Amino acid sequence: MKFVAFERTLQGTGASRRLRNANKVPGIVYGAGEPATIELDHNALFFALKKETFHSTVLEMELKGKTEQVILRDYQMHAFKPIVMHVDFQRVDKTTKITKKVPLHFVNEENSPAVKVDKCLVNHVVTELLIQCLASQLPEYLTVDLAELQKGQSLHVDDIQLPAGTKVVTHGKKNPVIVSVTAPATEEEAAAAPIVTAAPAAPTKGKKNEKQNKK
């Protein structure tokens, strides 16, 4: 995926505010050399951020007529407005080792015995994983095949087939759960569930009748 960035010469809070008023987003590119301050068109960046591939693939950034490979590292949004405030990129090449979150794509869930036969509920405990690999080996996503998922079964990190040279970072957690299966409630369980009813409304004071008003 390719995007165009422009060199940013002015820095500071005031300069960034003027950029945003001009529908531009201030940013920075670091790694493999001197950091470069950049600016990008806000609307183009805003809609690019909605695409999964913009977050999880190596991007081609055109800057001053030169194309560099970068990955998205961070971005900041306005507290309550749909406005991108700042964006960070990192330069990479084939030898750069990176740590980055990659989305999980779940397939064949509806055909699994857990769903098709036992009518279970499949819980996606996590929807992305932090992985380590060379930038050239960064997968766009990881596929989790649920075709053989059974009632009462859970899938863990070790059950995912990873691309060569890719390692999942679990921060000390041993083989975390990725998918769990919840059996449907039986009729007896549903009947035994407590019924919650609304509390009766407190009586309100009525208007005084005519005789009371005359007293």
- Dist. CA 114–CA 34, nearest whole Å: 53
* Predicted TM-score (pTM) above 0.75: yes
- Which residues have CB under 8 Å from 141's CB, separation 6+? 52, 56, 102, 103, 104, 105
2-93 matches 98-184 in fold: no
Name 32's bridge partners: none
- Comparing 7 with 186, the larger pLDDT belongs to 7
| Residue written as token pair 């700042």 | 86
Q: Which two tokens stand for residue 171?
A: 């921060």
- Which residues have CB under 8 Å from 45's CB, separation 6+? 3, 25, 84, 87
Which pLDDT does position 201 carry in this prediction? 60
At residue 182, what are phi and psi to the nearest 5 degrees? -110, 125
Which pLDDT does position 12 carry in this prediction? 75
The per-residue pLDDT for range 18-48, each reduced to its tens digit, is 888 899 999 999 987 789 999 999 999 999 9
Q: Which of 20, 73, 65, 13 is nearest to 49 (CA)?
A: 73
Name 7's bridge partners: 38
**Chosen CATH of 2-93 out of 1.10.620.20, 3.20.20.10, 2.40.240.10, 3.40.50.720:** 2.40.240.10
Banded model confidence at residue 174, pLDDT cuts 50, 70, 90: confident
Hey, where are the domains in the chain? 2-93, 98-184
Q: What is the mean pLDDT of the chain?
A: 87
The per-residue pLDDT for range 145-169, each reduced to its tens digit, is 999 999 999 999 999 999 999 999 9
Q: Which two tokens stand for residue 28?
A: 């920075």
Which pLDDT does position 189 carry in this prediction? 55
- Dist. CA 121–CA 207, nearest whole Å: 54
pLDDT > 70? residue 90:
yes
40's enclosing H/E stretch is strand 36-41
Q: Which of 177, 193, 174 is nearest to 122 (CA)?
A: 177
Which pLDDT does position 68 carry in this prediction? 93
Which pLDDT does position 112 carry in this prediction? 95
Render 111-127 in DSSP notation, one character per residue.
Answer: GSHHHHTT-PEEEES-S
**Chosen CATH of 98-184 out of 3.40.50.80, 1.20.120.420, 1.10.287.70, 2.170.120.20:** 2.170.120.20
